[in-house]
């Protein structure tokens, strides 16, 4: 059979990994795919550098349009990232009947509905395993392995940069800024780390997971996103004393009122296996009604780990490109005419439990006043710590774990607590999840 021709958009970290893994494993990949897969054309900003990577036998151009309009190309692999050139290129490929493999979580989280609709209209596949958690086959697990389940929730450590920073803060007791600078020096964090540390990258990924888990449109604009920049090292220590680790989690959950879609630092019980996932690694828990909780672990970024997912998609597209569209796995796991319009819950309506740290003057009745304020809001206290008393300033930290309540309710209680005369205005509020 004629080889499948791939056009590669971008030959940076992921693109070069894709090229090298395909070269190295070509024989195995051909045995799996049933056809030889060839990278026939590469688009790169720096053509000379790209030629240095792929050698003389492959056409290298500096214009993505030359690839997506080339009638010889069967599959376009987009690994340039961003939401402008990549979007135009993918839509141009789709209208020309080319299948698309992309690692671009931002693009799909923001424009996935439009891209999948175009792909459906033109009977082509858009595959995106590499967009979530690098090499870990999460999309495959959700769309196929767990297809018999009613998915209840997903919770994931899906940003390696944040997990590296939080692990270092915990292990070394260092503040956020110091660890971020070290992460940048070691190449774990970008020069502009905003997307990672503000939780946006994790937000893109959990938005895609949520859509696939519950059969809803991608709705990044409705996700609640809070990063790790305001976390203090002492909260990591206090949480530890209470039996918890703090992780940046992407969370999505089905509730009777709507779907929760959120990213924020989260206290998780130290005895959960996912709590010991450290460094730049990713891990996800998926709770299905039949399977119970399943866990997935691996490298969430990097050249060859991400290439592993890209090429898995290329192999699958190669097998399925001749199949009728209805024989393929739907883009968002559910048939397009069965996508549900169940809404994403505003954060104020989400129910969870909380870690609260307040700084108070260490005097008679402060704790009682705080406890009463929580009780007045119907919030039950689960555990408490008092730390750092006895200093010259006569102040102390009070740390409280609450039972579950609505965010709106908890916000009202905090507003009342910080108005108490002996309570300082700065506080730390971190959500807590038991993950069972
Ligand atoms: N920057 C991401 C991370 C990987 O740190 O996990 C790509 O999404």
| Annotated domain spans of the chain | 4-135+303-338, 138-299, 352-432
Q: Which overall architecture, per CATH, does domain 138-299 show?
A: 2-Layer Sandwich (3.30)
Q: Assign domain 4-135+303-338 to its CATH superfamily.
A: NAD(P)-binding Rossmann-like Domain (3.40.50.720)
The pLDDT tens digits along the chain (436 residues) read: 899 999 999 999 999 999 999 999 999 999 999 999 999 999 999 999 999 999 998 999 999 999 999 999 999 999 999 999 999 999 999 999 999 999 999 999 999 999 999 999 999 999 999 999 999 999 999 999 999 999 999 999 999 999 999 999 999 999 999 999 999 998 888 889 999 999 999 999 999 999 999 999 999 999 999 999 999 999 999 999 999 999 999 999 999 999 999 999 999 999 999 999 999 999 999 999 999 999 999 999 999 999 999 999 999 999 999 999 889 999 999 999 999 989 999 999 999 999 999 999 999 999 999 999 999 999 999 999 998 777 778 999 999 999 999 999 999 999 999 999 999 999 999 999 999 9
Report the distance separating Cα 175 and Cα 177, nearest Å: 6
Positive or negative, the CA dihedral 179, 134, 262, 146 is negative
301 CA distance to ligand 1 centroid (A)?
Answer: 6
Atom of ligand 1 nearest to the CA of 205: 8
- Ligand 1: which residue has its CA nearest to atom 2? 159
Q: How far is the CA of 407 from the CAs of 346, 384, 404, 412, in angstroms?
A: 10, 20, 9, 9
Whole-model pTM over 0.85: yes
* Residue 134 CA to ligand 1 centre (angstroms): 8
Among all residues, which ones are annotated catalytic?
Answer: 205
Pocket of ligand 1 (CB under 6 A): 159-161, 196, 201, 300-301
- Expressed in angstroms and rounded, the spacing between residue 62 Cα and the centre of ligand 1 is 26
- Residue 419's pLDDT is what? 97
Superfamily of domain 352-432: ACT domain (3.30.70.260)
């Amino acid at each position: 059979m004629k080889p499948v021709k791939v056009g590669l958009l971008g030959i940076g970290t992921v693109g070069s990994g894709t090229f090298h893994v395909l070269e190295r494993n070509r024989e195995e990949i051909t045995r799996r795919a049933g056809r030889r897969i060839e990278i026939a054309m590469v688009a790169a900003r720096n053509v000379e550098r790209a030629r240095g990577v792929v050698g003389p036998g492959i056409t290298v151009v500096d214009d993505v349009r030359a690839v997506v309009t080339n009638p010889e190309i069967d599959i376009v692999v987009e690994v340039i990232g961003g939401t402008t050139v990549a979007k135009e290129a993918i839509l141009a490929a789709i209208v020309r009947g080319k299948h698309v493999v992309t690692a671009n979580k931002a693009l799909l989280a923001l424009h996935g509905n439009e891209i999948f609709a175009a792909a459906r209209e033109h009977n082509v596949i858009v595959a995106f395993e590499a967009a979530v958690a690098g090499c870990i086959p999460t999309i495959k697990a959700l769309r196929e392995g767990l297809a018999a389940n009613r998915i209840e929730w997903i919770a994931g450590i899906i940003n390696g940069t944040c997990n590296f920073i939080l692990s270092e803060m915990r292990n070394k007791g260092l503040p956020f800024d110091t660890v971020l600078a070290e992460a940048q020096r070691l190449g774990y964090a970008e020069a502009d780390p905003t997307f990672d540390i503000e939780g946006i990258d994790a937000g893109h990924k959990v938005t895609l997971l949520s859509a696939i888990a519950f059969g809803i449109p991608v709705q990044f604009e409705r996700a609640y996103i809070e990063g790790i920049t305001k976390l203090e090292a002492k909260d990591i220590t206090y949480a530890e004393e209470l039996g918890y680790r703090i992780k940046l989690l992407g969370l999505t959950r089905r509730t009777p009122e709507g779907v929760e879609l959120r990213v924020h630092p989260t206290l998780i019980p130290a005895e959960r296996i996912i709590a010991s996932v450290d460094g730049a690694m990713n891990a996800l828990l998926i709770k299905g009604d039949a399977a119970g909780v399943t866990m997935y672990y691996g490298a969430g970024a990097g050249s060859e780990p991400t290439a592993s997912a890209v090429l898995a998609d290329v192999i699958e597209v190669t097998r399925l490109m001749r199949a009728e569209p209805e024989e393929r796995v739907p883009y968002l796991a559910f048939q397009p005419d069965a996508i549900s319009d169940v809404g994403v819950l505003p954060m104020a309506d989400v129910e969870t439990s909380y870690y609260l740290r307040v700084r108070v003057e260490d005097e008679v009745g402060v704790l009682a006043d705080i406890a009463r304020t929580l009780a007045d809001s119907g919030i039950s206290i689960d555990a408490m710590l008092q730390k750092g008393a006895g200093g010259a300033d006569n102040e102390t930290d009070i740390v409280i774990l609450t039972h579950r309540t609505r965010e709106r309710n908890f916000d009202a209680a905090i507003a009342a607590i910080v108005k108490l005369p002996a309570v300082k205005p700065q506080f730390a509020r971190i959500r807590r999840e038991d993950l069972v």
